[in-house]
A = this chain, B = another copy of it.
Amino acid sequence: MTEEKRPKLVNEVALLVDNRNVGGSWHVATLHAPRIARTCLPGQFVHLRIPGMTEHMLRRPFTIFDADTTRGDIDFLYGIQGFGTDHLSKLEPGAAFECEGPTGNGWSVPEDIKSALLVGDGTGTAALYLLAKQLIKNDVKVHLVMGGRTKHTIMDTARKFDDLLDGPVDVCTTNGTFGFSGDCTERAGDLLKDHSFDYIACSGPRAITSKVADLAKQANTPCQVWLGSHMGCGVGACLGCVTDTTRGRVRVCVDGPIFDAEEVIW
Interface 0/1 of A34-66, CB less than 8 Å to B: 000000000000000000101100000000000
* SS of A interface (majority): loop
Could you tell me the distance in whole angstroms from the C-beta of A87 to the nearest C-beta in chain B?
10
Q: Are B52 and A55 neighbours in the complex by a CB distance under 8 Å? A: no
Residue on B nearest A54 in the bound complex, by CB = B55
For the complex, what is the distance from the CA of A54 to the CA of B55, rounded to whole Å?
A: 7
- Chain B neighbourhood of A55, CB < 8 A: 54-55
- Chain B neighbourhood of A52, CB < 8 A: 52
Could you tell me the distance in whole angstroms from the C-beta of A50 to the nearest C-beta in chain B?
13
Residue on B nearest A52 in the bound complex, by CB = B52
For the complex, what is the distance from the CA of A236 to the CA of B54, rounded to whole Å?
A: 30
For the complex, what is the distance from the CA of A52 to the CA of B91, rounded to whole Å?
A: 13
- Chain B neighbourhood of A54, CB < 8 A: 55
- A residues within 8 Å of B by Cβ? 52, 54-55
3 A-B pairs whose Cβ atoms sit less than 8 Å apart in the complex: A52-B52, A54-B55, A55-B55
